[in-house]
Structure 1
Amino acid sequence: MPVVDSIAEYEHLERVNLNMFNILSVVLQEQSITRAGVRLNMSQSAVSGTLARLRTMLGDPLLVRGKSRLVPTERALELIGSLSAVTECVELLSGRAHGKSDAIVPRKCVVACIDEISSILVPAITAEILRSSEHTSVEFKSIEAEDVSQELWSGSVDTAIVSTLGEVPIGHELIGTDELVCLMSKRHPLSRQPHISRAQYEKAEHVALLSHRGRPQYAIESALRARQMSRRNTVAMPFADVIPHLLERSGLLFTTSRRFAEHYASFLPLHMSPLDVELPPINYFQMSTFATRDPLRISWVKAKVRAAWKTLQAENALNVP
């Protein structure tokens, strides 16, 4: 390549700045140069000029005129995910460079939560995040314990709340504990007793919460085996929030956390009874990784989860250490 062409190419690339990709991202969202200009506080000609430069640089029209809007090309659709990451990095770097305190606040939080505590914890986390930032959205995922590490390392989840009946893994944050109880209909014969004996528990018919892979809760099964106990799982399903309504209309027992049982017994005709066999406590802990995301932003999300548990503690909804 002639030297003059190399210099020309270098000067062309030098004039490309990351803000151009932010402009493209807004144009793709609005599918209108006029609306994008209003949103960006730029003139229509400036937005058009940036789009023209990007078309030349990327060798693609990016947006073509439709009946009532600009329509993204296939190449532009492929870029959308990358543009989101680029614009977020631009905001992050420029915000911190100018000392903006909100530069660590993410546009979106993705929180994974195990099913049996989600009905109590998810509303509290949502309230905490929305109260802390009017510009942040939150997405929740139901997740399998064995998939947590992969989801965290891939960057598709910011933090995950999982449980164990054993020791909390080293390096993870214990945020709450609870105990196992039995939940049943108020019409169930065992609801008239102060506690449930081993023999009664093993004779009764149970409903088991399945993982999305079709397996009963491993932690509970392991705890029962450790006490040389078993249960008859007559019904099994992967929907934790459906089980209380099933109990209301059946003679089944459900082994679950005290807080889950108390929550549903507060508005459904259900009864909660402890077992006369001592079982290990449920430990809830928070998992995260800084491998693929900005550490300050991950810390922000974790702090909101922690604050949500403290709020629940104040409302006597959870036992927090």
Structure 2
Amino acid sequence: MDLNLLRVLDVLLQEHSVTRAAERLGTSPAAVSRSLARLRRAVGDPLLVRAGQGLVPTPRAVELRGEVAELIRSCARVLRPGAGFEAVHLHRTFTVQAAELLLAAVAGDLTERLHREAPGVDTVFLPESYEDGPALRQGLVDVELGVLGRLDPEIRTRALATRPPVALVRHGHPILTGPVDAGRFAAAAHIGVSRQGRRHGPIDRALAELGLRRRVSVVVPSHTAAMLLARDTDLIALGLADWLPATVQALGLRAFPIPLRLPPMELGMAWHPRNDGDPAHHWFREHLAAAVLGLPGS
């Protein structure tokens, strides 16, 4: 049955008048009369009969009145966006695909933020192996966080922060003995970070424009491994400005600007539009964004 007919019946049983029901429904008396005729055929009962200038319900209509009203209220609850959402009652696990460097920076603050409002919420961080794939579309990932690459055309995105890349070296590294120009930077040995083993990127293109090349002596799959390696060698690792300052200091590393014209790293998050109307997902995204924007330099 057309659910609109239930709405018409609910109003008719309240007003006992086709004219007044039409006014409330924003339609014509003729349309209400046609709906009433359809209802009579469907139920097999007159439902409302003439009594003077108005209508009175039949016994069958009286029986239906409460049930119809409750059905209308149930439909309203189902279709009302975000109705009744309270984070404190939420029990759910959200998945975030993020680079290790981002995970280390935001996971602690994010967890504290979530558990203050929703003790029943857990977060699973997935590696970047899901990046550039259909994980958001397939529902394997709730949010992708980081430098956003190739995404399906329907994916929603939000820019969060922009950071310039910096170089990381151990205290006492020879390059720190004087000003660092492009030539000295290129002459040093470097650490590449790539899950696919790529050795070249924006730095190499910027050096090539100056007629320079660098040597990428080691390629590792994570920034954590790169920082630990830089701590124990004279290799140069890469990081983001003002990112994890306590960790950089604890590892005995020094950060310095890269002497090249490089585009900044643009950090953002992405999600599938199926979750746009989900109040819990929106609540989670807001806390994730706040954790990123609360980092130093944001």
Map residues 42-121 of structure 1 onto 2, 5 A cutoff.
99-102=84-87, 105=90, 107-121=92-106
Work out the percentage of aligned pairs sharing the same amino acid: 18
- Which string of whole-angstrom CA distances, capped at 9 and with x for unpartnered residues, describes residues 100-151 of structure 1? 5349945111111112322212222222222221011110011147x34511
- Tell me the equivalent position of 1:303: 286
State the one-letter code of the partner of 1:273. F
Deviation at 1:285, TM superposition (A): 0.6
- Tell me the equivalent position of 2:228: 245
Is residue 163–residue 264 contact of structure 2 (8 Å, CA) maintained in 1?
yes
* Separation in 1, partners of 2:110, 2:225: 22
Is residue 120–residue 260 contact of structure 1 (8 Å, CA) maintained in 2?
yes
User: Which of these two proteins has the greater Rg computed from alpha carbons?
Assistant: 2
Deviation at 1:225, TM superposition (A): 5.4
Is residue 88–residue 119 contact of structure 2 (8 Å, CA) maintained in 1?
no
* Separation in 1, partners of 2:148, 2:208: 15
1:189 to 153, 157, 174: 174
TM-score, length of structure 1 as denominator length: 0.58
Higher alpha-carbon deviation: 277-286 or 252-261:
252-261
Q: Structure 1 pair 215/123, CA: closer, same or farther in 2 (3 Å)?
A: farther
For 2:223, what is the secondary structure of its paired residue? coil
Instruction: State whether structure 2 residue 266 is matched by structure 1 residue 279.
Output: no
Is residue 104–residue 300 contact of structure 1 (8 Å, CA) maintained in 2?
no
* Separation in 2, partners of 1:113, 1:231: 28
Instruction: State whether structure 2 residue 214 is matched by structure 1 residue 209.
Output: no
Map residues 144-223 of structure 1 onto 2, 5 A cutoff.
144=129, 147-163=131-147, 172-193=157-178, 195-211=179-195, 213-216=196-199, 218=201
- Which string of whole-angstrom CA distances, capped at 9 and with x for unpartnered residues, describes residues 208-230 of structure 1? 1112x333575555565566654
TM-score, length of structure 2 as denominator length: 0.63
Is residue 114–residue 144 contact of structure 1 (8 Å, CA) maintained in 2?
no
Is residue 191–residue 271 contact of structure 1 (8 Å, CA) maintained in 2?
no
| Count of residues paired in the alignment | 218
For 2:250, what is the secondary structure of its paired residue? coil
State the one-letter code of the partner of 2:176. S
Q: Structure 1 pair 179/201, CA: closer, same or farther in 2 (3 Å)?
A: same
- Which string of whole-angstrom CA distances, capped at 9 and with x for unpartnered residues, describes residues 152-201 of structure 1? 11101111112169xxx9952111111111101112111233x5211111
Higher alpha-carbon deviation: 279-288 or 94-103:
94-103
Higher alpha-carbon deviation: 170-179 or 132-141:
170-179
* Separation in 1, partners of 2:87, 2:190: 49
Long gaps (5+) in structure 2: 1-76
Long gaps (5+) in structure 1: 1-91
* Separation in 2, partners of 1:185, 1:272: 9
Deviation at 1:244, TM superposition (A): 1.7
State the one-letter code of the partner of 2:182. R
State the one-letter code of the partner of 2:108. P
Q: Structure 1 pair 264/305, CA: closer, same or farther in 2 (3 Å)?
A: same
- Tell me the equivalent position of 1:268: 251
Higher alpha-carbon deviation: 183-192 or 123-132:
123-132
Is residue 155–residue 293 contact of structure 1 (8 Å, CA) maintained in 2?
no
Q: Structure 1 pair 101/130, CA: closer, same or farther in 2 (3 Å)?
A: closer
- Tell me the equivalent position of 1:136: 121
> Pairwise CA RMSD of aligned residues?
3.4
Q: Structure 1 pair 264/101, CA: closer, same or farther in 2 (3 Å)?
A: closer
State the one-letter code of the partner of 1:125. L
